[in-house]
């Protein structure tokens, strides 16, 4: 019987430990996608090279992220999990697609402009062409759906434009990917400035919780979380700090806003912040414990990412060679 499941591709850069925001907003839902879709997960290490990296640190972070993806519930038997640089078709298709991407399109990419301001001494060609490599990542696997945050939507639109242009010239080669919007997710804001999204690049480490923070660290950060005037635990636009904590608590406990307001009626911010911290710590504890076991087992991690790369190459090679043939390149025999 033909497999009618849609294909999903998710890539994540090894640029440090993901935050609670990354987890609640997207990553926590990735294992659930495996039941409904054909999923492929990649640690996209080539993308991280647009910014200067410390080699030993990059190697450690790459392996760490493989272990973390397994710890959150990615099943490598069901969904290939691999390191991007181990599958040569990604870089090869990116070159082909570069030749079908306009300079003007890339120069309009918001992330290129932002990173050029952040790293004015290293505005390299890789940074400029980054979205084309991302398009190759997606299009290689005939991807139907891509879980993307708001900062990547422009890149997905470009991938769609490139696919459409190529298909218009050479026939049906690439599938048109669509953004995957999870049925429920949380937009987690900074614990120190609830008007900004939680980010590990925050200059104040108390503004974010990392997925591998220990219980004491998590509790300390939540107890220091910014709240608002008054002492009522209610979710309103004029209480962004409390509303953010309520949103986090709601996602990790499954309780509604109304239930939270009722449970903490008259209890004040101190008790509520502690309760949120404890609930988050308990949610992340099994992930951290599993990660610690996995990260020690380098042989197992190597087995997973090696087998994942073999599967990914087998799948992606079909698309890559089809594109080569359409372009008139002589295929290897």
Catalogue all structural domains in the chain, each as residue range(s) with its CATH number.
7-185+298-327 (3.40.50.620), 205-292 (1.10.240.10)
pLDDT at 2: 47
DSSP, collapsed to helix, strand or coil, labels residue 53 as coil
DSSP, collapsed to helix, strand or coil, labels residue 91 as helix
296 counts as catalytic = no
The 10s digit of each residue's pLDDT in 104-144 is 899 888 878 778 888 888 888 988 999 999 999 999 999 99
Query: CA-to-CA distance for 194 and 243, rounded, in angstroms?
Result: 9
- Using a 10 angstrom Cβ sphere, with 0-12 exposed, 13-18 middle and 19 or more buried, the burial of residue 128 is middle
- Among 4, 57, 200, 322, the active-site one is 200
- Among 57, 113, 115, 298, the active-site one is 115
pLDDT at 228: 85
Full strand arrangement of the beta sheet holding 7-12: 81-83, 38-43, 7-12, 145-147, 178-180
Q: Which residues of the chain have pLDDT under 50?
A: 1-2
pLDDT at 49: 94
pLDDT at 297: 96
pLDDT at 159: 96
pLDDT at 185: 60
Query: CA-to-CA distance for 252 and 284, rounded, in angstroms?
Result: 10
262 counts as catalytic = no
DSSP, collapsed to helix, strand or coil, labels residue 297 as coil
pLDDT at 3: 59
197 counts as catalytic = yes
- The helix (run of H) or strand (run of E) holding residue 12 is strand 7-12
- Among 197, 221, 239, 273, the active-site one is 197
């Amino acid at each position: 019987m033909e497999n009618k499941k849609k294909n999903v591709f998710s890539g994540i850069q090894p640029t440090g430990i993901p935050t609670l925001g990354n987890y609640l907003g997207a990553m926590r839902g990735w294992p659930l996608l495996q039941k409904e879709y054909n999923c492929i997960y990649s640690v996209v290490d080539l993308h991280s090279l647009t910014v200067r990296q410390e080699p030993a640190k990059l190697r450690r972070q790459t392996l760490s992220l493989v272990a973390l993806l397994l710890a959150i519930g990615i099943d490598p038997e069901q969904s290939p999990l691999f390191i991007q640089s181990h599958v040569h078709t990604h870089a090869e298709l990116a070159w082909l697609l570069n030749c079908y991407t306009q300079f003007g399109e890339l120069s309009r990419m918001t992330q290129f402009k932002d990173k050029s301001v952040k790293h004015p001494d290293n505005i390299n060609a890789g940074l400029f062409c980054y979205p084309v490599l991302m398009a190759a990542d997606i299009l290689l696997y005939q991807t139907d759906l891509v879980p993307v945050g708001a900062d990547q939507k422009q890149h997905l639109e470009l991938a769609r434009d490139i696919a459409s242009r190529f298909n218009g010239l050479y026939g049906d080669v690439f599938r048109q990917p669509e953004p995957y919007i999870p049925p429920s997710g949380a937009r987690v804001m900074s614990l120190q400035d609830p008007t900004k999204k939680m980010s590990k690049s925050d200059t104040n480490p108390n503004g974010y919780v990392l997925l591998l923070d220990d219980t004491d660290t998590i509790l300390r950060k939540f107890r220091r979380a910014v709240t608002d005037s008054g002492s009522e635990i209610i979710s309103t636009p004029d209480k962004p700090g409390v509303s953010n904590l309520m949103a986090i608590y709601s996602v990790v406990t499954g309780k509604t806003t109304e239930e939270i307001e009722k449970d903490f009626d008259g209890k004040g911010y101190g008790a509520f912040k502690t309760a949120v911290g404890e609930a988050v710590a308990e949610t992340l504890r099994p992930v951290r414990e599993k990660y610690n076991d996995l990260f020690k087992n380098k042989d197992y991690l190597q087995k997973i990412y090696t087998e994942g790369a073999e599967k990914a190459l087998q799948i992606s090679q079909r698309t890559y060679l089809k594109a080569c043939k359409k372009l008139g390149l002589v295929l290897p025999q």
